[in-house]
Chain A
Amino acid sequence: MSLLGFCQWLEQTRLATAISESVWLFPIIEGSHILALPLSVGMILMFDLRLLGLAFQGTSASRLMRDVLRWSKFGFVVVLITGGLLFMTQASKAYDNVFFRTKMVFLLVLGINAVVYQIVFYPKMEQWDAGGAPLGARICGALSLVVWIGVIVCGRTMAYQF
């Protein structure tokens, strides 16, 4: 089955049609997707600001990371589930949409960025924990900040084209 064929099949599933046909399900799922942003993306942005030296300066970066990541996991569970459900209801439109495709590429970039941080910079955090982050870690933070904002912009803009 092609990717587009899969999208068309998704739209026809009982779950997808139930969401589309319900008066309240779609708004509730969409609202939850948006209002989980502060708990998911927002927490990551807090840590990005710390890496860039724009907030929580002079305080332990590793402890801030531990706290915000612990909370953001709950937020990401909600955005992933609600995002998946929203996608199901309009999968073939999303498949064709340039903003949806850009959003998916951005998410991939963010995933790679997070893995790079975890492997390269996380183990050395104790060397600079209370001070300024090294250049590489700052670049990870700046990339995360800019691309997450890009994800929000693409997500909002794609909805105008459906």
Chain B
Amino acid sequence: MTAIRSWLEWCSNTSAIVFIRDSSYGMPAVQSVHLVGLTMLLAAILVLNLRLAGVGMMDWSLAAVERQLRVWMWVAITLVLASGAVMFIGNPTKYLASGPFQFKMASLALAMLCQFGLFRRFFRSEPAIRPRAINIVVAALFLTLWFSVGWAGRVIAFV
């Protein structure tokens, strides 16, 4: 752990990170990328889960919606992870000590594991083969999980 910490400290003092951290528009620019990525990612997650719950997009199958949004989800995830990594490396000591940050990383890992791993096939299947109540509960759980990641991110700044 100490080796990782000292490596992170070294990263946070590289000239590129120092430049971003100390220039007046570096961090606002990185945070802006993070917010644009968040908007795109959570919008795709919303469309997918609202379709799963049968609230809209009923002209498309769930599998078709998932296929259409897949590439944009990955674009958005790349934006949030890359910008998030720059923010983290800018001040690793602060983030590692932050409870909301730890919660955010844990819920992000769980959300990604479920969305792109355990439940991947679920989002490519036909929801009508199951009772609608199950689809609504799964959609509600996924939306709660993804939006907790976002809320935890906001809490980091205030705690």
Interface residues of A (CB under 8 A from B): 27, 30-31, 34-35, 37-39, 41-43, 45-46, 49, 55-56, 59-60, 63-64, 67-68, 70-71, 149, 152-153, 155-157, 160
Contact A35 B151 (CB under 8 A): yes
User: How many inter-chain contacts with C-beta < 8 Å in the A-B complex?
Assistant: 88
A59: nearest residue on chain B (CB-CB)? B60
Which chain B residues border A37 with CB–CB below 8 Å? 35, 38-39, 42
- Which residues, 43 to 98 on B, are CB-close (under 8 Å) to A? 43-47, 50, 56-57, 59-60, 64, 68-69, 71-72
Query: Is B31 an interface residue when CB atoms closer than 8 A count as contact?
Result: yes
B59 touches A60 (CB 8 A): yes
B56-A35 in contact (CB<8A) = no
Residues of chain A lying within 8 A (CB to CB) of residue B25: 157
Contacts A38-B46, A56-B68, A71-B46 hold; do A31 and B40 have CB atoms under 8 A apart?
no
Which residue of chain B is the closest to A31 with respect to CB atoms?
B154
Ranked nearest first, the 7 interchain pairs of A and B with the lowest CB-CB distance are A42-B43, A38-B42, A31-B154, A157-B28, A153-B32, A38-B43, A37-B39
Can you name the residue of chain A whose Cβ is closest to the Cβ of B28?
Answer: A157
Does A49 lie within 8 Å of B46, measured CB to CB?
A: no
Q: Is the interface of A mostly helix, strand, loop or mixed?
A: helix
Determine how close the nearest CB of chain A comes to the CB of B128; give it in whole angstroms: 18
Which single member of A42, A45, A67 contacts B57 (CB below 8 Å)? A67
Q: How large is the interface on B (under 10, 10 to 19, 20 to 34, 35 or more residues)?
A: 20 to 34
Complexed CA–CA distance, A46 and B41 (Å): 11
Q: Provide the main secondary structure of the chain B interface.
A: helix
CB-CB nearest in chain B for A157: B28
- Contact A39/B43 with A55-B68, A55-B72, A160-B27 known, Cβ cut-off 8 Å: yes
Closest to A159 in B: B28
CA distance in complex: A35, B154 (Å): 9
Question: Could you jot down 17 A-B contacts, CB within 8 Å?
Answer: A27-B155, A30-B154, A34-B35, A34-B38, A35-B147, A35-B150, A35-B151, A37-B38, A38-B40, A42-B43, A43-B46, A43-B47, A49-B72, A55-B69, A71-B46, A152-B36, A155-B35
Which chain B residues (16-32) contact chain A, with CB distance < 8 Å?
A: 25, 27-29, 31-32
